[in-house]
């Protein structure tokens, strides 16, 4: 690439854009070392500090990773999940990020509620719930395994819904139980063999483990979900507001 010295855009930004284009096009492939700073400086006709600034920007954005005694490699970029502070379907969020979402329904059946499920749905233990297990993808990568429990007494016609295509919250709204608020708890655990195989990771790799309760009008719980996200492909955004008038 020839740097346009007449451009108002700084050279380090022009180089960043060129490197990013090469990463996205596959010219620099995942886990591949990019050329050394001195080689890039000669190629672009700029100083090493300028190259270092371009590379650092891509490191900060998650496209590159510096490895001690090795160099700088192209890394698989994590998907920034924002559901921690907004209520939005997985499909809608992936579409908004320009990723191709896909859902595989692993199971959908009726079973008695366990003590944990009953407590979170505020129903009696042993009362029937509908158990929905979905494996969700972005592009071709499995991203999250979601097990959802729904109170069968309130929601009678969901067994006919194709949840590989239909969004859960949309289906709940059609039943007269739109999800108005959610409560989530996050843990970081190790993947077991079954979850690891489904998510295409090794057993004992870290996973983000979310418990979610979805509430409808009058704060009625209509969903209890356990979501297991791959640790290597996901990061999460938490938005926190200062509710006090004075700054800390």
Query: Does residue 49 have a pLDDT over 80?
Result: yes
CATH number of the domain bearing residue 83 = 3.40.1410.10
Identify the three-state secondary structure at position 194: helix
Range of the domain at 61: 11-74
- Judge if 18 and 104 occupy the same domain: no
Where helices occur in the chain by DSSP H, the ranges are 11-25, 37-44, 48-60, 90-96, 115-121, 168-174, 193-199
Q: At 100, is the pLDDT very low, low, confident or very high (cuts 50, 70, 90)?
A: confident
Q: What average pLDDT does the structure give for the chain?
A: 86
Query: Does residue 40 have a pLDDT over 80?
Result: yes
- Judge if 26 and 136 occupy the same domain: no
Q: Judge whether 55 and 37 are in contact, CB under 8 Å.
A: yes
What DSSP state is assigned to residue 33? B
- Judge if 54 and 126 occupy the same domain: no
Chosen domain end from 47, 74, 101: 74
- Judge if 206 and 89 occupy the same domain: yes
What local confidence, expressed as pLDDT, does residue 2 receive?
Answer: 56
Query: pLDDT digits over 104-159, tens only?
Result: 999 999 999 999 999 999 999 999 999 999 999 987 889 899 999 999 998 888 98
Whether 248 is covered by a domain: the verdict is no
Neighbours of 75 (CB within 10 A): 17
Query: Does residue 243 have a pLDDT over 70?
Result: no
- Judge if 156 and 40 occupy the same domain: no
What local confidence, expressed as pLDDT, does residue 113 receive?
Answer: 97
- Judge if 173 and 210 occupy the same domain: yes
Candidates 246, 134, 112; CA nearest to 199 is: 134
- Judge if 38 and 133 occupy the same domain: no
Q: Judge whether 107 and 131 are in contact, CB under 8 Å.
A: yes
Query: pLDDT digits over 11-22, tens only?
Result: 999 999 899 888
- Judge if 46 and 88 occupy the same domain: no
- Judge if 52 and 158 occupy the same domain: no
Task: Please tell me the pTM assigned to this model.
Answer: 0.67
């Amino acid at each position: 690439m020839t740097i346009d010295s007449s451009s108002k855009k700084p050279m380090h930004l022009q180089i960043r854009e060129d490197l990013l284009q090469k990463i996205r096009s596959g010219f620099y492939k995942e886990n591949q070392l990019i050329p050394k700073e001195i080689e890039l400086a000669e190629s672009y006709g700029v100083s090493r500090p300028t190259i270092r600034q371009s590379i650092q920007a891509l490191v900060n954005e998650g496209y590159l990773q510096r490895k001690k005694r090795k160099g700088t490699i192209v890394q698989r970029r994590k998907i920034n999940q924002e559901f921690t502070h907004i209520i939005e379907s997985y499909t809608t969020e992936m579409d908004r990020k320009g990723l191709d979402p896909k859902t595989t329904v692993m199971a959908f059946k009726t079973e008695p509620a366990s003590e944990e499920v009953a407590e979170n749905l505020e129903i009696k233990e042993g009362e029937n719930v509908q158990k929905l297990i979905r494996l969700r993808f972005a592009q071709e990568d499995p991203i999250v395994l979601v097990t959802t429990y729904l109170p069968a007494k309130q929601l009678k016609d969901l067994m006919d819904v194709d949840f590989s295509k239909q969004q859960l919250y949309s289906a709940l709204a059609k039943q007269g139980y739109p999800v108005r608020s959610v409560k989530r708890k996050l843990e970081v655990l190790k993947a077991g063999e079954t979850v690891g195989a489904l998510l295409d990771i090794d057993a004992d790799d870290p996973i983000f483990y979310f418990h979610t309760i979805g509430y409808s009008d009058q704060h009625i719980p209509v969903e209890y979900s356990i979501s297991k996200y791959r640790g290597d492909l996901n990061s999460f955004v938490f938005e926190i507001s200062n509710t006090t008038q004075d700054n800390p």
